[in-house]
Amino acid sequence: MRSSVETVRKAYYVSPIGILEVEGTEEAVLAVRFASGRKPRTSEWTPALEKCLKELAEYFAGGRKAFTAALRPQGTDFQRRVWRAVAEVAYGTTTTYGRVAREIGRPRAVRAVGAANGSNPAVILIPCHRVVGKGGDLTGYGSGLWRKEWLLAHERKFGGPASGRLFKE
């Protein structure tokens, strides 16, 4: 018999642009965020976290253009709709907040899309760095605009659009 309360674990990945804390259960990743300070000495790996860490390493090495690790981000229905749309933005490309708003059927909700994008719990996996301002300006990245710029340059360097996001409901 399975418990209705899932144990949440954390693992860490040292990327070229900072330490990533990956949080999840046995079955899915719940969050990926930049951690402040030093990498903790311990990680609590689960199969889902192990797959995510492997895919992050491949991404930063330039070999992975789409993530397949099961992802179950926690948020409102609206936020999850935005994150699903953002997750479909292909590697090496960008979109705008307005375009995301239109894609989810809420063309006037550009600011709300920006707020949802800003509360993205899974940076890189949900590629909020690929969402830019109306004129193509690099705007709004909670992890620092320098990281957004780095990620976009990294994807341009390794080129080629790809998609393939798996949300686990």
103-123, pLDDT tens digit by residue?
A: 999 999 999 999 999 999 999
How does residue 44 score in pLDDT terms, banded at 50, 70 and 90? confident
- Per the annotation, the verdict on 52 as an active-site residue is no
CB 4 within 8 A of CB 49: no
Three-class secondary structure of residue 147 per DSSP? helix
Mean pLDDT over all residues of the chain? 88
Query: Would you list the DSSP string of 99-142?
Result: HHHHHTT-TT-HHHHHHHHHT-SBBTTB-GGGEE-TTS-----T
63-116, pLDDT tens digit by residue?
A: 999 999 999 999 999 999 999 999 999 999 999 999 999 999 999 999 999 999
How does residue 29 score in pLDDT terms, banded at 50, 70 and 90? very high
Q: Rounded to two decimals, what is the model's pTM?
A: 0.87
- Per-domain boundaries in the chain: 77-158
Which residue out of 11, 30, 69, 128 is catalytically annotated? 128
Alpha-carbon distance of 135 to 77, in angstroms, equals 28
Neighbouring residues of 77: CB distance < 8 A, sequence distance ≥ 6: none
Three-class secondary structure of residue 12 per DSSP? strand
CATH 2.120.10.90, applies to 77-158: no
CB 10 within 8 A of CB 44: yes
12-24, pLDDT tens digit by residue?
A: 999 999 999 999 9
Alpha-carbon distance of 111 to 131, in angstroms, equals 13
How does residue 4 score in pLDDT terms, banded at 50, 70 and 90? low
